[in-house]
């Protein structure tokens, strides 16, 4: 009996030692991996040569942003609200322009510019995200590097303060392109990103918008003979996405898009914003594009990539390609919205087929252009 007891005891001791060894090995592996997981600083250190950074000063760098498109009419906008939008647009684009002017990467400029719009309750992204049918907030974002076609995206996250930052982590520190929901948030924890309580995204104005859309849906469904029935996901319940495209001093393009999706959306609906090629695309050979609009049609049209393809394969300019897609292809399917874009020469587009689109542009000389309504 004693021998049997000691044999079992020795086996348990051996198992305990093995567990400790495995635990230490795992800890060492995690620590070693963390040290070798690149950050944005590492990205810039690797991709921007120090000597080049001191000598190359291109005059073609620039940045363009949007804050959503839709039925944005001057008559419906108070002076104070218009001023508030203009102030955030200016703050955001000046931040990105400052980064570019100081020799920062287009990827950093895009990310930090979008952060400012995500932190504003005025836009349907981050803090200002709209509500789903179940009164929750589900956020999407994507980011693409035109120098190597690397990309990262997240969808359906509910506890990420700045989804574009998580898209960056996916791009730099995972073998994947898109992560969804709880899995994306689990990945965020491994990257030491702070999770916020879902109440962070709560807004009385967004909740009122949801209830208004639901009431309209119920009223139209109850009226069998209504000739004006509209899909409950239609019109401006789908707009408000933010985006940014940039060209840095070293000829590298980047694009990013972030959104709270569509008011009253159901069934974990995902739009075009986190889909590379639909809502976001960047390629140093052509252009960088960020889109805003009715996502279903932008996905079906593969809007962002189509603009790039028209430039690459058909020889169209950025302006011509954007006009072809936004003014003809998307409307032909029944969709609407807009894009901002910049090409490798610094030419820009801010094309939309709606009544308005929040937008701004700055070139290397620091000239600022802000727009809201259709001219």
List, as one string, the DSSP characters of 47-72.
Answer: HS-HHHHHH---S--EEEEEEEEE--
* Annotated catalytic residue, options 111, 113, 241, 257: 241
pLDDT in tens, 272-317: 999 999 999 999 999 999 999 999 999 999 999 999 999 999 999 9
Closest by CA position to 274, among listed 147, 132, 170, 121: 170
Q: Report, as an integer, the average pLDDT of 267-273.
A: 96
Given the structure tokens 């990262």, which residue do they identify? 152
Closest by CA position to 371, among listed 61, 80, 93, 126: 93
Alpha carbon separation from 330 to 153, 286, 315 (Å, rounded): 23, 21, 20
Question: What is the average pLDDT score of the chain?
Answer: 87
The CATH code of the domain at 52-202+233-373 is: 3.60.20.30
Domain ranges of the chain: 52-202+233-373
Model confidence at 244: pLDDT above 70: yes
Q: State pTM to two decimals.
A: 0.85
pLDDT in tens, 196-238: 999 999 999 899 999 998 988 788 776 644 433 333 333 455 5
Residue 249: which residues within 8 A CB-CB, separation 6 or more? 56, 57, 58, 61, 100, 103
φ, ψ at 191 (rounded to 5°) = -100, 10
**Cα–Cα distance for residue pair 7/51, rounded to 1 Å:** 67
Q: Could you confirm whether 241 is annotated as catalytic?
A: yes
**Cα–Cα distance for residue pair 296/355, rounded to 1 Å:** 20
pLDDT in tens, 318-328: 999 999 999 99
Please give the residue that has the higher pLDDT: either 43 or 226: 43
């Amino acid at each position: 009996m004693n021998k049997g007891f000691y044999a079992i005891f020795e086996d348990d001791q051996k198992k305990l030692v093995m567990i400790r060894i495995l635990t230490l090995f795992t800890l060492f592996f995690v620590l070693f991996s963390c040290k070798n997981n690149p950050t944005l600083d590492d990205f810039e250190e690797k991709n921007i040569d120090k000597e080049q950074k001191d000598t190359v000063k291109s005059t073609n760098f620039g940045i363009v942003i949007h804050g959503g498109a839709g039925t944005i009419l001057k008559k419906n906008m108070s002076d104070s609200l218009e001023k508030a939008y203009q102030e955030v647009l200016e703050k955001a684009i000046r931040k990105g322009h400052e980064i570019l002017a100081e020799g920062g990467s287009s990827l950093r400029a895009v990310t930090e510019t979008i952060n400012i719009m995500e932190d504003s309750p005025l836009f349907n992204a981050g803090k200002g995200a709209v509500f789903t049918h179940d009164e929750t907030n589900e956020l999407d974002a994507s980011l693409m590097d035109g120098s190597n076609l690397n990309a990262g995206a997240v969808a359906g996250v509910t506890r990420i303060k700045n989804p574009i930052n998580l898209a960056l982590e996916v791009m730099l520190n995972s073998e994947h392109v898109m992560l969804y929901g709880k899995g994306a948030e689990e990945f965020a924890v491994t990257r030491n990103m702070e999770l916020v309580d879902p109440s962070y995204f709560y807004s009385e104005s967004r909740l009122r918008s949801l209830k208004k859309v639901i009431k309209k849906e119920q009223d139209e469904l109850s009226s069998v003979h209504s000739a004006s029935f509209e899909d409950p996901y239609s019109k401006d319940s789908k707009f408000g996405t933010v985006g940014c495209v940039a060209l840095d001093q070293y000829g590298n393009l980047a694009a990013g898009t972030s959104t709270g999706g569509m008011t009253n959306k159901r069934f974990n609906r995902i739009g075009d914003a986190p889909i590379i090629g639909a809502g976001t695309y960047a390629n140093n050979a052509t252009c960088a594009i960020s889109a805003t609009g009715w996502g279903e049609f932008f996905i079906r049209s593969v809007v962002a990539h189509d603009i790039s393809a028209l430039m690459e394969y058909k020889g169209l300019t950025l302006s011509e390609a954007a006009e072809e897609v936004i003014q003809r292809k998307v409307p032909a399917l029944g969709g609407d919205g807009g894009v901002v874009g910049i090409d490798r020469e610094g030419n820009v587009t801010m094309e939309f087929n709606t009544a308005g689109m929040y937008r701004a542009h700055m070139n290397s000389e620091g000239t600022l252009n802000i727009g809201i309504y259709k001219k």
